[in-house]
């Protein structure tokens, strides 16, 4: 008779990042083995995109990571622009950065809501989801949608900012800034939170570099890697911002990184609003069926709230991409890292560890 039991956490479970499942073997409350199962939601993005024209395909990429779709839209658009030799206007680049940093800010609020709920601090998700809703309202005003924005389009953006949006954005940023001290008291400065997260899910810096970990996982090991600074795109090279890091490599360090990144995103957006210039928001594109991608290949990188990712795209002089490949941090975070990290951990820490890694399952089952 076996002394261990096997259970599944997910795919529909409040302590699971997205629709995925963890097959756990337990000896009491201690995890003996952990196997990740994905594919319970969106899947097959690469082939779906290859079977649509590039102007049709832009509606698909936002589904790769539902909680933060905009970096994927921008990366796809920049890949198409690189292959087709398109150059976007300065205003379009500014509007893209505003959108990307808004997406990063709401993604960190959503992370905080999930982590707070996993610890049992129910006031944290109530505040964080409420504050995130103000950002979703801004997205609705900008793009017409709250979740799948489909706003960043090859050649620029789909529409300009509505009247009064910059002022409303500044009001929301100020409101969130004023809320941060309350989050510090209830969450980041809470001794119970620190005790639950410190020493949990430790990542070694050498391991992080060797396996290609990214985002808060890498910066939580004290390594200041960020594509926005290391390989600037859009107008990031014109903006002043810091790359937050922390030491310890545990779930607490990753929480500290995300807290500091919220401040930096607000800082970036204020600079962009001050620099907004008039101009076109979309360059002239060929008609839908006449937009043929020249023969060539490109690899485009971006920095999302979860870390660096990239698209490898190949054109063959048709209106379709010959090859589209997604490379994101979720694969190594969910397999290489999570399955190893859970062994020896307690069942009560599974949600905390998983939330700290920032995993989007559709990015794996791509």
Looking at the structure of the chain, the number of domains it has is: 1
User: Exposed e or buried b for every residue in 59-68, given b needs 16+ CB within 10 A?
Assistant: ebbbbbbbbb
Mind listing the pLDDT tens digit for each residue in 67-106?
899 999 999 999 999 999 999 999 999 999 999 999 999 9
Both tokens assigned to 2: 């076996």
- Gap between the Cα atoms of 250 and 87, Å rounded: 41
Per-position DSSP letters for 298-331, written without gaps between them = EEEEEEETTEEEEEEEEE-SBSBEEEEEEE-HHH
Give the structural domain span for 152. 42-327
Q: Is the pLDDT of residue 1 over 70?
A: no
Report the C-alpha dihedral over residues 266, 267, 268, 270, rounded to 10 degrees. 80
Closest by CA to 78, choosing from 69, 87, 70, 67, is: 87
Mind listing the pLDDT tens digit for each residue in 193-250?
999 999 999 999 999 999 999 999 999 999 999 999 999 999 999 999 999 999 999 9
Residue 278 lies in a domain: yes
What mean pLDDT value characterizes the chain? 93
Mind listing the pLDDT tens digit for each residue in 23-67?
999 999 999 999 999 888 778 889 999 999 988 898 899 989 888
Find out whether 51 and 94 touch, Cβ atoms under 8 Å: no
Rg (CA), the chain: 21
Per-position DSSP letters for 164-208, written without gaps between them = THHHHHHHHHHHHHHHHHHHIIIIIT-HHHHHHHTTSS---HHHH
Mind listing the pLDDT tens digit for each residue in 253-287?
999 999 999 999 999 999 999 999 999 999 988 87
Residue 337 lies in a domain: no
Closest by CA to 54, choosing from 239, 365, 324, 319, is: 319
Which residues have CB under 8 Å from 263's CB, separation 6+? 180
Residue 338 lies in a domain: no
Both tokens assigned to 168: 């409303």
138-144, long-range: CB < 8 A, 24+ apart: 138/102, 138/165, 138/168, 138/169, 138/172, 139/99, 139/102, 141/165, 141/168, 142/99
Residue 238 lies in a domain: yes
Residue 183 lies in a domain: yes
Residue 352 lies in a domain: no
Q: Which residue has the tokens 């949990």?
A: 200
Burial class (CB in 10 A: 0-12, 13-18, 19+), 185: exposed
Both tokens assigned to 182: 């309350």
- Gap between the Cα atoms of 174 and 172, Å rounded: 5
Residue 145 lies in a domain: yes
List the CATH number of the domain containing 273.
Answer: 1.10.645.10
Find out whether 247 and 255 touch, Cβ atoms under 8 Å: no
Residue 277 lies in a domain: yes
Find out whether 356 and 329 touch, Cβ atoms under 8 Å: no
Find out whether 50 and 26 touch, Cβ atoms under 8 Å: no
Mind listing the pLDDT tens digit for each residue in 314-348?
999 999 999 999 999 999 999 889 999 999 999 99
Which pLDDT score is estimated for 20? Answer: 87
- pTM given for the model: 0.95
Q: First and final CA of the chain: distance in angstroms? A: 40
- Gap between the Cα atoms of 152 and 96, Å rounded: 7
């Amino acid at each position: 008779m076996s002394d261990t039991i096997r259970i599944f956490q997910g795919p529909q479970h409040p302590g699971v990042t997205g629709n995925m499942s963890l097959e756990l073997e337990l000896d009491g409350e201690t995890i003996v083995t952990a196997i990740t199962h994905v594919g319970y939601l969106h899947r097959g993005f690469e082939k779906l995109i290859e079977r649509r024209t590039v102007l049709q395909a832009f509606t698909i990429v936002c589904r790769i990571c539902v909680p933060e779709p905009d970096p994927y839209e921008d990366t796809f658009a920049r890949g198409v622009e690189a292959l087709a030799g398109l150059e976007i206007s300065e205003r379009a680049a500014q509007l893209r950065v505003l959108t990307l940093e808004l997406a990063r800010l709401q993604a960190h609020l959503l992370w905080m809501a999930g982590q707070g709920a996993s610890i049992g601090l129910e006031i944290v998700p109530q505040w964080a989801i409420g504050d995130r809703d103000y950002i979703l309202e801004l997205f609705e005003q900008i793009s017409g949608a709250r979740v799948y924005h489909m706003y960043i389009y090859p050649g620029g953006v789909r529409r300009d900012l509505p009247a009064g949006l910059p002022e409303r954005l500044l009001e929301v940023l100020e409101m969130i800034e004023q809320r941060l001290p309350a989050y510090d008291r209830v969450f980041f400065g809470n001794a119970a939170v620190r005790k639950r997260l410190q020493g949990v899910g430790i990542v070694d810096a050498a391991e992080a570099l060797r396996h290609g970990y990214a985002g808060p996982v890498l910066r939580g090991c004290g390594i200041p890697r960020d594509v926005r600074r290391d390989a600037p795109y859009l107008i990031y090279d014109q903006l002043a911002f810091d790359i937050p890091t922390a030491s310890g490599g545990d779930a607490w360090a990753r929480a500290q990184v995300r807290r500091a990144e919220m401040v930096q995103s607000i800082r970036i957006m204020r600079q962009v609003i001050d620099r907004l210039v008039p101009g076109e928001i979309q360059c002239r594109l060929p008609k839908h069926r006449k937009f043929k991608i020249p023969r060539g290949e490109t690899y485009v990188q971006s920095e999302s709230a979860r870390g660096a990712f990239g698209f490898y795209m190949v054109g063959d002089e048709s209106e379709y991409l010959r090859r589209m490949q997604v490379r994101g941090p979720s694969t190594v975070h969910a397999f290489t890292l999570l399955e190893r990290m859970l062994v020896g951990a307690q069942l009560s820490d599974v949600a905390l560890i998983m939330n700290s890694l920032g995993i989007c399952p559709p990015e794996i089952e791509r």
